[in-house]
Amino acid sequence: MHSKYLDLLAQKYDCEEKVVTEIINLEAILNLPKGTEHFVSDLHGEYQAFQHVLRNGSGRVKEKIRDIFNGVIYEHEINEMATLVYYPEEKLQLIKNGFDNDQELNQWYKEIIERMIRLISYSSSKYTRSKLRKALPDQFAYIIEELLYKTEESANKEQYYTKIVQQIISLGQADKLIIGLAYSTQRLVVDHLHVVGDIYDRGPEPDKIMEALINYHSVDIQWGNHDALWIGAFAGSKVCLANIIRICARYDNLDIIEDVYGINLRPLLNLAEKYYEENPAFRPKIHSDKKISDHEVSQITKIHQAIAMIQFKLESPIIKRRPNFNMSERLLLEKVDYDKNEITLNGKTYPLENSCFATVNPEQPDELLEEEEQVIDKLLFSIQHSEKLARHMKFLMKKGSLYLKYNGNLLIHGCIPLDEKGNMEKMKIEDKTYGGRDLLDVFEYYLRHAFAHPEETDDLATDMVWYLWTGEYSSLFGKRAMTTFERYFIKDKETHKEKKNPYYYLRENEETCRSLLKEFDMDPDQGHIINGHTPVKEIEGENPIKADGKMIVIDGGFSKAYQSTTGIAGYTLLYNSYGMQLVAHKQFNSKEEVLSNGTDVLSVKRLVDKELERKKVSETNVGEELLQEVSILNRLMEYRYVK
């Protein structure tokens, strides 16, 4: 190791005792049990359901309460305490309203503070005091630590502890303390959160999910296809931008574009009202809990058509200038007979319905009107100058990746493209051929390049981000073609089908999964592949645990649009020092229902894998980093302090 680096390090550890203390500390941490990892996927803007899962740790909070108090307090008290941890401000108010006098309330305060201190103690039992201290509310950290380290042998200090609690109550600080303890518990039950893709689109509040993640104590993100679409729009891709607006129009979420991120849609609306009429294929999917006027529905319907046609036009030049994308069959505007209002696909002719080609020049169908060009340019300028969107996209880039190797598991939103024999699909990019892990690495390289150079709008990197959304060999899309055009305009549902990459049936095979783990230099005996992207149809008996436990698919339908298909409302995965558990969730209706009934909307937990020996920090990614630090500190000892 370079002596100058060690000299710099010695400025921090300027005496032998400091180095020794840090080595002892790190070596001790390596022998603690690993923390709990929490995996979620395909959140699709469903902030309320996500928040509940985050607050209850997919059932970990109630499990810990039950571990401590089962048989000691009644079941309704366990439910009440759990709900108090999830939503402390609201639950406190409900509980306080149920007391007749201050004496009863103060007695409850005394009991609940003692119980919550015990819960904090139990939840933090595998963490260092330093890590626990960081999780405590600053204003009460000293007091909580005093109460935490109360022991059965502390009879001499019994009045001291009693007085602390009495003073907290008499000084009107009990509510603040309980709220602080609740949020500390939420933080302690989950050490690290993995979001396996698709924060954006369909649901109404992706921005709130982003804010929650930005403020979360430890998180990583594996980009989903919808996340890549938003990144692409911010990075300068006009076709990605057209897609996100089209999807927001389809799901009645244009307020995300306009109100949340401050993008002015008036020029688009003016264009839409000039050229488009009512069209049933483009009416928005209305949220059941949202009131919307007929006039607003009409406006959204017209905007939907206008941006869809801009999207289809913008796709054509990319397909033509990137022959290696192998997408010439998707030049659909050129396949339309505008006089007969029909299209020929794969040698078969279909009548078109709900067509809206008012802005299309049949002689040059991919040509944008000057008005359309002006609209998309204004939209791109606005989206690239939205401060809030910039903050969210920068966070996505900082914490995100296409795949992640973490604690022996491979996390990937979509797929690793395979052929029917299970071999890695190959794609040629700039005279080089890539497959498997190399292909994913080059995809990520181009996505990061596009983001770093938003002024470049028609370069290969920007086009490649769009390919990630819709290309045959994209690890995020994983289908032969995206049939958006057909779904709008062709009645025959055979044309709507999107043929999946063979990965999606080969992943049922254990040997395929073991081979994929090897491709990423991972132990096939110990590792798992954790996927999102494709909703598991539990209602039809599909098992999310595949390939003898080597493959776990955790997209179970957070998005309400999928829940009638899946039969549930999402899966989450927990991985602690004892092993892995998959948690299925019932539909989340409202926070108010949880507060009233104490329900956790969990249906069943399934054991995925049980550790034969309890896993320690030393066997994790964090452990690898700590071992490197220990090695460096030992070298510093030899270099500076050992004579």
User: If you write DSSP's letter for every residue of 260-318 in order, what string do you get?
Assistant: IS----HHHHHHHHHH----GGG-----TT----HHHHHHHHHHHHHHHHHHHHHHHHH
Report, in angstroms and rounded to the nearest whole number, the Rg of the chain calculated over CA atoms.
28
pLDDT at 121 over 70: yes
Q: Which residues pair with 568 in a beta bridge?
A: none
The predicted structure's pLDDT at residue 354: 94
The predicted structure's pLDDT at residue 23: 86
Confidence of residue 561 (pLDDT cuts 50, 70, 90): low
**Does 402 or 565 have the greater pLDDT score?**
402
Residue 619's contacts (CB-CB under 8 Å, 6 or more residues apart) are 34, 407, 408
The predicted structure's pLDDT at residue 604: 59
* CA angle at 472 for the pair 470 and 494, rounded to the nearest 5°: 85
Q: Both tokens of residue 181?
A: 């303890």
Instruction: Give the Cβ contact number of residue 130 at 10 Å.
Output: 9
Confidence of residue 562 (pLDDT cuts 50, 70, 90): low
pLDDT tens digits along 157-202? 778 888 888 899 999 999 999 999 999 999 999 999 999 989 999 8
Residue 71's contacts (CB-CB under 8 Å, 6 or more residues apart) are none
Residue 604's contacts (CB-CB under 8 Å, 6 or more residues apart) are 583, 584
Contact 549, 528 (CB under 8 A): yes
Residue 325's region, left for phi above 0, alpha for psi from -120 to 50, else beta, is: alpha
CA 467 to chain centre: 21
Residue 442 vs residues 47, 445, 454, 478, 509: alpha-carbon distances, Å: 32, 5, 18, 16, 27
To the nearest 10 degrees (0 to 180), the angle between helices 460-470 and 294-321 is 120
Q: Both tokens of residue 501?
A: 């990459």
pLDDT tens digits along 380-424? 999 999 999 999 999 999 999 999 999 999 999 999 999 999 999
Confidence of residue 435 (pLDDT cuts 50, 70, 90): very high
pLDDT tens digits along 199-231? 999 889 999 999 999 999 999 999 999 999 999
Residue 323's contacts (CB-CB under 8 Å, 6 or more residues apart) are none
In whole numbers, what is the pLDDT of the chain averaged over residues? 90
Residue 432 vs residues 309, 402, 473, 485, 596: alpha-carbon distances, Å: 34, 20, 15, 32, 60
Structural element, H or E, at residue 447:
helix 436-452
Q: Both tokens of residue 463?
A: 């086009």
Confidence of residue 457 (pLDDT cuts 50, 70, 90): confident
pLDDT tens digits along 593-609? 777 776 665 555 666 77
Q: Which residues pair with 433 in a beta bridge?
A: 428
Residue 146: CA atoms inside 13 Å, Cβ hemisphere, count? 13
Of all residues in the chain, what percent carry a pLDDT higher than 70?
A: 93
Structural element, H or E, at residue 609:
strand 602-610
pLDDT at 1 over 80: no
In whole angstroms, what is the distance from residue 335 CA to residue 571 CA? 42
The predicted structure's pLDDT at residue 33: 86
pLDDT tens digits along 309-325? 999 999 999 999 999 99
Mean local confidence (pLDDT), 131-148: 89
pLDDT tens digits along 517-543? 999 999 999 999 999 887 777 666 778
pLDDT at 440 over 90: yes
**Does 350 or 146 have the greater pLDDT score?**
350
Mean local confidence (pLDDT), 344-362: 94
